[in-house]
Structure formats: C-alpha cells, structure tokens
C-alpha cells in the first residue's frame, strides 16, 4: 500500500531523546501501517510511561492543548492557535492521500472537516461514546451542564460526518457499530488492540480446584473506573470463603493510585492485593496468563475497553460491569459474567457464581478460546487496511 496517510489520534506525546513517546497505544497500532504520519499535541511532562514511540519523520506536532475544553477555548479565542492549527493540518492533508481521525475528540472532528474541504477521504475510528459522559460524578454542576452541551454538539457533528459519502467508519463495540451502520459507507467493527494470541497458553486447570483464586484488573486508576471498590470486594470474598483465598493484582496508573494504596495499607491487604503500577503493553501477557479471572468494575461511559479484549486473547474469563457499550460485545454467561455498574454486592455475587460453577467457568473459557482470533492485532490490522483501501473521494 503506497498511499500516504495523515492520522490524528488526539493523545498527548512527549519528546524524549530523539523520539516522540506516549503512554497510550493507539499510535503503536497505527504504526504497523506503511506511509503513515501521526499527529498529536506535545506536552511537557515528567511522565515515564512509554507504550508508543514515533520517529520525528513520522510525527506532526499540533498546537498544544490539554483537553477538549482547552482546545475549543483556544480555537475560538486565540487567533494564533487557530491559524497554526489550521495551517499545520492543511499542509499535511495536502501532502497525503487519505486522512485517519480518532473520534469522539473535538480536534478530530475539525480535522475531518478540513480533510473533506480539501477533497481527501476520511477514515473515522469512533473509539468511544460520549452519551452519558456528563453523568460522571467527578464533574461539578457547571461542568456537568457544559459536558452535556459539548457532548451533544460533538455527537451531532460525528453523525453529520457519518452521512458524508467520503467518510468511512470504524466503530469500537457493537453499540457504536450499530449506531453508525446506516452511514453512507456503513460501519466496520474494529478494535485497535496491539496484542496477539500468546505463545504460552493458560493451563487447563479450572479455577474452582485451586486454593488460591487470582483476580486481575488492568486499566486506568480513576474513581469512575470503579477501582476504589476493589479492596472492599477482595475483603468480602475472603470472608465469604473458608476453603479459598482470593488475591488481586492491580495494574495501571491514574489519579486514584494514591488513594488505592492507602486503602491497601488501611485494611491490611498487603499480601492479598498487589498494586504493580504501570506495565508496558507488550509485557502484559505474563500477568494475564498467571491469573484466573479478569475483573472490570467501571462506571464510566465506556466504548469497549481494550483490556477486556486482551483478557479474552489470553483465555481469561471476564467479570465486568454493564456500563456504556460493554454489553454490546460482552455477552452474559457466554464470554463474560456481567454485573450492574456501581453495585459491589452484585459484582461479588457474580464472581462467586463463576467460581462456584465449574461448568459455567469451563463454558466461558471454551467460548473465549473459540472466538478470540477476531480480537488479535493481526486480525484488526487487516480490517484497518481493508477500510483504508476502500476509502476514496467521490466528489
């Protein structure tokens, strides 16, 4: 494929040494595509986490912004920001053949509109859903109102773009895929995962035959991810079972990390709960393979979390909340066990139902192994290439 692609992923990068680096993996996935340039803002940060590394020749620095609100404020108020953003984007678009954007970020919407104005086809990856984002408890009343208005505007423009004959949709999760199935060029189900099926498989031993049940959480450590309920969960499970001990490993970073560590100390859970912190994406396999059940307690309006796919790739049964678009792909008692978001008692009940039922556990494990190929990086790369090849500007 000799076409040149300009890709905006709207995730912050840092310049370290002679490369642009990011703690996120979207760029890592896209770099498998030849002749692609990655565009994103560059920030000053002491962050040491690295998942994506981009050579300067394949990177386009966008004017700095830290959030959707920051972007729209600067774009509307600062003429220099607006001019620099537009000129940088237009220059790159005019030297490429096709444009990739990652929605629902506001800058991707702007870039898509610039691409269409310059007669370039757009591959739009809708990676998340803004519906309900304003319900997040971390927002003040004023921010809730702003988030509601802002989300509705972005969703309106994404819907408008989907109706353009020169826009080609990739949707993460069945709910989003169904929403945009009536787009002019339809929608393809897509996950930008960076892992493939590991060489070393999990053993065939059923979890119920073990004295120690190992639970795993991987993801951002934020209050709306439900991570602060995990210590309570592990304490109640261990008080409920006499013949089993439950251990929990938590992998991730975020603003709730310190509070989580304080809970572990306060409730004397050292030995039962291990917070490892950040682990590079390509080093996660050994953790997935060494655990029995993946737990995802999020209350955030998720699209479809990459970590659930990663758990499935490793044959790991998933116990997850029903938030956002998760239930569009996760099917209760088929490839997952689903509980009501924010309900810790229901989460514990559903974990117990899986641990206590060897036939259910075996059935989930079997179903996951049979269907997991579609969540591999190789499979999803082929979907991306197919969509890119389809994309053409038709006037």
d(CA 94, CA 98): 10
Share of residues in the chain with pLDDT > 90 (%): 77
d(CA 375, CA 335): 13
- The pLDDT value given to residue 207: 59
Measuring CA to CA, which residue among 395, 374, 372, 391 is closest to residue 33? 391
Measuring CA to CA, which residue among 305, 308, 357, 356 is closest to residue 335? 308
Do 221 and 163 lie in one domain? The reply is no
Pairing mode of beta strands 212-218, 293-296: parallel
Residue 173 predicted with pLDDT over 90: no
- The pLDDT value given to residue 141: 78
Residue 135 predicted with pLDDT over 90: no
Residue 201 predicted with pLDDT over 60: no
Rg (CA), the chain: 22
Residue 7 predicted with pLDDT over 70: yes
| Position 252 in a domain | yes
Mean pLDDT of the chain: 92
Average pLDDT over residues 153-177: 94
Higher per-residue pLDDT: 205 or 266 = 266
d(CA 193, CA 333): 24
pTM: 0.88
Q: What is the CATH number of the domain that holds 114?
A: 3.40.50.2000
Model confidence at 129, in pLDDT bands (50, 70, 90)? confident
| Position 199 in a domain | no
- pLDDT of 262-301, one tens digit each? 999 999 999 999 999 999 888 999 999 999 999 999 998 7
Do 173 and 228 lie in one domain? The reply is no
Instruction: Give the H/E segment covering residue 143.
Output: helix 141-162
Average pLDDT over residues 342-351: 96
Do 25 and 160 lie in one domain? The reply is yes
Counted domains in the chain: 2
Average pLDDT over residues 241-260: 94
| Position 202 in a domain | no
Model confidence at 395, in pLDDT bands (50, 70, 90)? confident
Do 18 and 72 lie in one domain? The reply is yes
Residue 20 C-alpha from the chain's centroid: 21
Residue 352 predicted with pLDDT over 50: yes
Do 184 and 89 lie in one domain? The reply is yes
Which residue spans within the chain are E strands per DSSP? Answer: 5-8, 14-16, 19-22, 36-41, 52-54, 59-62, 98-103, 122-126, 167-171, 187-189, 212-218, 245-251, 273-277, 293-296, 318-321, 336-339
Do 25 and 150 lie in one domain? The reply is yes
Instruction: Give the H/E segment covering residue 148.
Output: helix 141-162
Higher per-residue pLDDT: 68 or 126 = 126
Do 251 and 118 lie in one domain? The reply is no
Range of the domain at 249: 207-373
| Position 52 in a domain | yes
Model confidence at 150, in pLDDT bands (50, 70, 90)? confident
- The pLDDT value given to residue 121: 98
Do 215 and 333 lie in one domain? The reply is yes
- The pLDDT value given to residue 203: 45
- pLDDT of 22-65, one tens digit each? 989 999 999 999 999 999 999 888 777 889 999 999 999 999 99
- The pLDDT value given to residue 206: 53
Residue 205 predicted with pLDDT over 50: no
Structure tokens at 328: 């569009």
Do 342 and 273 lie in one domain? The reply is yes
Do 149 and 222 lie in one domain? The reply is no
Residue 233 predicted with pLDDT over 80: yes
Do 362 and 297 lie in one domain? The reply is yes
- pLDDT of 101-115, one tens digit each? 999 999 999 999 999
- The pLDDT value given to residue 136: 66
| Position 348 in a domain | yes
Measuring CA to CA, which residue among 339, 393, 375, 5 is closest to residue 189? 375
Residue 197 predicted with pLDDT over 80: yes
Average pLDDT over residues 306-322: 94
Do 386 and 351 lie in one domain? The reply is no
């Amino acid at each position: 494929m000799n076409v040149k692609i300009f890709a905006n992923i709207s995730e912050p990068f840092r310049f370290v040494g002679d490369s642009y680096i990011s703690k996120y993996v979207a760029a890592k996935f896209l770099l498998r595509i030849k002749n692609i340039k990655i565009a994103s803002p560059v920030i000053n940060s002491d962050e040491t986490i690295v998942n994506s590394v981009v050579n300067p020749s394949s990177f386009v620095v966008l004017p700095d912004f830290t959030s959707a609100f920051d972007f729209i404020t600067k774009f509307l108020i600062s003429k220099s920001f607006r001019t620099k953003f537009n000129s940088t984007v237009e220059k790159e678009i005019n030297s490429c053949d096709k444009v990739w954007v990652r929605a629902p970020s506001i800058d991707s919407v702007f870039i898509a509109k610039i691409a269409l104005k310059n007669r370039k086809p757009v591959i739009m990856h809708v990676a998340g859903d803004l519906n309900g984002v304003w319900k997040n408890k971390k927002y003040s009343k004023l921010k809730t109102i702003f988030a509601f208005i802002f989300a509705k505007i972005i969703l309106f423009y994404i819907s408008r773009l989907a109706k353009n004959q020169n826009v080609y949709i990739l949707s993460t999760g069945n709910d989003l895929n169904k929403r945009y199935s009536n787009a002019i060029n339809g929608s393809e189900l897509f996950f930008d995962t960076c892992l493939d099926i590991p060489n070393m498989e999990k053993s065939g031993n059923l979890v119920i035959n073990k004295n120690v049940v190992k639970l795993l959480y991987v993801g951002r450590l934020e209050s709306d991810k439900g991570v602060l309920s995990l210590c309570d969960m592990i304490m109640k499970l261990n008080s409920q079972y006499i013949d089993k001990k439950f251990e929990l490993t938590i992998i991730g970073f975020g603003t709730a990390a310190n509070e989580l560590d304080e809970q572990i100390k306060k409730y004397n859970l050292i030995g039962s709960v291990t917070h490892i912190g950040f682990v590079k994406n390509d080093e996660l396999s050994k953790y997935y393979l060494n655990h029995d059940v993946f737990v995802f307690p999020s209350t955030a309006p998720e699209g479809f979390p990459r970590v659930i796919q990663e758990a499935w790739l490793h044959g790991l049964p998933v116990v997850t909340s029903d938030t956002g678009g998760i239930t569009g792909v996760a099917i209760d008692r088929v490839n997952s066990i689903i509980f009501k978001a924010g309900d810790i008692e229901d989460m514990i009940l559903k974990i117990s139902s899986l641990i206590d039922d060897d036939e259910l556990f075996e059935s989930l494990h079997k179903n996951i192994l049979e269907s997991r190929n579609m969540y591999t990086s190789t499979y999803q790369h082929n979907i991306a290439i197919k969509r890119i090849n389809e994309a053409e500007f038709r006037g």
